[in-house]
Amino acid sequence: MKFAAHVHGHVVAVRWLAPDAEASAALGVLMQGAREQADRELRLLLILGEDCPVPDGPTRKAMVADHERAMDSLAGVGVLVIGQSLRQSLFRALFAGLGLLMKPQARTSLHFCAGLDALLDFAEVEAKDSLLAGMLADGVLRDREL
């Protein structure tokens, strides 16, 4: 599996494990299913852990294209980059650069979260504990990251 995911109502939480164009397309399929079940626009929570490789050029282009296709059903995307390594700094710069490649309406939906609490606030759910438990159970978050 190239990503771990947890769907919680209108929230799709994803931890990238090995991002590539195929995984980006698979995420699109997952989100389509979540859209059909949700009662409002989706909120996508993207988590990039310390072990996630930096996506290559074709993957970045695929991710931008897939994000733009999903915009009609997205209330926003919350991004949490875990860790302070050089790779994590590169991820932060990479996502900022991806934001510049996006169409203006897609760009405004991208929110960088300073920590897990900010990401959970961004999700706009009443039962944050339930969302967090599901994210842990499905491998989107790890105990040591709490």
Tens of pLDDT, residues 39-56: 999 999 999 888 888 888
- Which residues are paired to 48 by β-bridges? 16, 81
Using pLDDT thresholds of 50, 70 and 90, give the confidence band for residue 129: very high
On whether residue 1 sits in a domain, the answer given is no
Q: Which pTM does this prediction carry?
A: 0.85
| Count of domains observed in the chain | 1
On whether residue 144 sits in a domain, the answer given is no
On whether residue 133 sits in a domain, the answer given is yes
- Domain range for 16: 8-33+40-138
pLDDT at 65: 81
pLDDT in tens, 69-116: 777 778 888 989 887 766 656 665 666 555 544 555 554 577 889 899
Residue (of 127, 38, 114) closest to 75 by Cα position = 38
CA 131 to chain centre: 14
Q: Does pLDDT of 33 surpass 90?
A: yes
Cα separation of the two ends of the chain? 23
On whether residue 143 sits in a domain, the answer given is no
On whether residue 88 sits in a domain, the answer given is yes
On whether residue 93 sits in a domain, the answer given is yes
- Which residues are paired to 11 by β-bridges? 8, 43
Give the percent of the chain with pLDDT over 90. 49
CA distance 123 to 21: 25
pLDDT at 103: 56
Amino acid at 45: L
On whether residue 18 sits in a domain, the answer given is yes
pLDDT in tens, 12-21: 999 999 999 9
Residue (of 103, 99, 18) closest to 56 by Cα position = 18
On whether residue 146 sits in a domain, the answer given is no
3-state helix, strand, coil in the chain (%, to 5): 50, 20, 30
pLDDT averaged over every residue in the chain = 85
Q: Which of 2-6, 30-34, 89-93, 106-110 has the highest mean pLDDT?
A: 2-6
What CATH number does the domain containing 13 carry? 3.30.750
Comparing 34 with 55, the larger pLDDT belongs to 34
